[in-house]
Each structure stands twice: as structure tokens, then as C-alpha cells.
Amino acid sequence: MQNRIQQAFQKKGKGLLNVYFTAGYPSLHDTVPLIKSLTQAGADLIEIGMPFSDPLADGPVIQASSTAALQNGMNMRVLFQQLEGIRQEVPEAPILLMGYLNPVMQFGVENFCREAAAAGVDGVILPDLPLDDYVAEYQDMFRRYNLRPVFLITPQTAPERIRRIDELTDSFLYLVSGPGTTGGANTQAEGVQEAYFQRIEAMNLRNPRLIGFGIGDKASFQRACQYAEGAIIGSALIRALEGTDDAPAAAARFVSSVLK
């Protein structure tokens, strides 16, 4: 069974923009208005962060937005309530939930899958869910609810492991651009990153690829699109939302600045 993630890649092919923001940030009820304004401004995929107290893979910007969102009262129940009916307003754009395993486990993984599917969510990114645990415990459940897992690949991921990851999903591969947490600058020597992207490209994998971590403006987005079907922007969008009283407008301006 196809889902919206595959359809989005088939339809556009190249230059897809996946934007990440933290649910409940900058204010609790910005979630749905942000999804609408981001898609209207041209974002192709929407990745909603489920805030966690201790986001190990994230840099300071997403840490701060997570803390603020939790203080605003965001939690899994509130998020699923907010997403109710989102598919009437945003029928096509794939929606992914990104977060850490512990809040999902406490909510109940099956409950989580059921609620996510009911809301029209297409994919799930849980960076601290080990591959073996996914296969042993959750793969059947994800399939039953037509939810696609998205797995990360880094410059250190071994080729056979990349092949295995590629077999385990029908969505896209999340290429982490280099060492570091989200929102960091690229500090790699010239050519190192390109060689890594080209090495992955040459593997002729089943899934399309999106490059994330350290992508934050038009130049870095376009550069990433040379090596993959698209890219993911998170921290830079969050920064654009900081201190604004009209988050949807600020989000739309940001997306336009990347795509114009």
C-alpha cells in the first residue's frame, strides 16, 4: 500500500523540502496553523517534533524549543487532538512525527500508532529506536497502521547496514550530513561531505534520500539537492519563529526565502 510519502517523491522527483518544527512552539496552538502555512508556502513534507525533555540528537535550538513547548503544555494527547481533522485542510503533504522513544513508550506504542494513523500521519522518526528492536517488536504494528519508519544514516554507517535500513522502509532515507547534533555548522574539510553523498548515491538504493543537519538556507538547500532528492530544515526554521507573534507568517516567509 502506497502512502503520501511515496506519492510526494513520485510527483515531484527532485528538490523536495522537508521542514521540521516542534509541536507547541512558539505557542501551544501554533501546530496546525504552522502546518497549513508551511505547506501553502511550498514545503513538501512536514515533520512535527514531539518535544522531549532530553533530546540527545538535537542541538541547542531544538532543545530550547522543546523545553518551551513542554512548558506551553504540549504532550502526545494534546498533539493528537490538534491533528484531528488536519487531513481535511492539508490533504496531500506527508506528515511525519519525530521524537524520542520514551514518551512514545509511555503513551503505548500501539496507541501511538493508532492515533497517528487516525490523524493521517504517514511516517515516524524515532532516532533512539534500535533497528533490531523495530524489527522484533514494532514492524508488524507499523505496517498494520500504514506508518513508515524513517531511519538515519551517517557518514560512519557501514554499507551493509545502509542496505539493511533501505530494505526496512518505503519512505526515504535521512542522510545526516556530518558529525554533530541538529543545527550545527558544517565543519568538515572540503570534499569530505560530497564524497559521502556521492558514495550513498552510487549505492543505487530503493528509497529516495533527504539530507538533514546543518541545512538552513537557500544556498545549503540547493547544494544538498545536488546530491539527493531533497533536504530537511529544522533549527533554522525554529530560529525564524523565535520571538515572533505571528508564527505562521514567519514560517511562510522562511520557506519562501529557501525556495524563491
Partner 1 sequence: MSTTYQQPTERGYYGQFGGAFIPEMLYPNVEELRQQYLDILADPAFQQEYQQLLRDYVGRPTPLFEAKRLSAKYNTHVYLKREDLCHTGAHKVNNTVGQILLAKRLGKTRIIAETGAGQHGVATATVCALMGMQCIVYMGEIDMERQKPNVYRMRLLGAEVRAALSGSRTLKDATNEAIRDWISNPVDTHYIIGSVVGPHPYPDLVARLQAVISEEMRKQLLEKTGSELPSYVVACVGGGSNAAGAFYHFLEEPAVKLVAVEAAGHGVNSGHSAATSVLGKPGIIHGSRTLLMQDEDGQITEPYSLSAGLDYPGIGPLHAFLADSGRARFISIEDEDALRAVAELSRLEGIIPALETAHALAALGQLGAGPDDVVVVNLSGRGDKDLETYLKYADTIL
Active site residue ranges: 47, 58
* Binders in 142-171 for partner 1, by CB under 8 A: 151-154, 156-158, 161
Per-residue mark of binding to partner 1, 87-116 (x: CB under 8 A): -------------xxxxxxxx---------
Neighbours of 69 (CB within 10 A): 27
Segment contacting partner 1 by CB under 8 A, of 13-21, 83-91, 126-134, 201-209: 126-134
CB of 127 to partner 1, least distance (A): 4
Contact 154, 180 (CB under 8 A): no
> 85 vs 179, which CB is nearer to partner 1?
179
Q: Which residues of 128-140 are buried (b: 16+ CB within 10 A; e: fewer)?
A: ebeeeebeeebee
> 97 vs 176, which CB is nearer to partner 1?
176
* Binders in 48-67 for partner 1, by CB under 8 A: 52-54, 56-57, 59-60, 63, 67
Q: Is 195 exposed, middle or buried (0-12, 13-18, 19+ CB in 10 A)?
A: exposed
Angstrom distance (rounded) from CA 125 to CA 148: 9
Angstrom distance (rounded) from CA 222 to CA 226: 7
> 175 vs 252, which CB is nearer to partner 1?
175
CB of 154 to partner 1, least distance (A): 5
Per-residue mark of binding to partner 1, 184-223 (x: CB under 8 A): x---------------------------------------
CA distances from 61 to 77, 86, 184, 214, 216 (A): 24, 27, 10, 12, 12
Among 180, 201, 246, 257, binds partner 1 (CB under 8 A): 180
Nearest CA to 79 among 125, 28, 44?
28
> 143 vs 161, which CB is nearer to partner 1?
161
Q: Write a three-state SS string for 159-219.
A: HHHHHHHHHCCCCCEEEECCCCCCCCCCCCCCCHHHHHHHHHHCCCCCCCEEEECCCCCHH
What residues make contact with partner 1 under the rule CB under 8 A? 52-54, 56-57, 59-60, 63, 67, 70, 75-76, 100-107, 127-130, 132-133, 151-154, 156-158, 161, 176, 179-181, 184
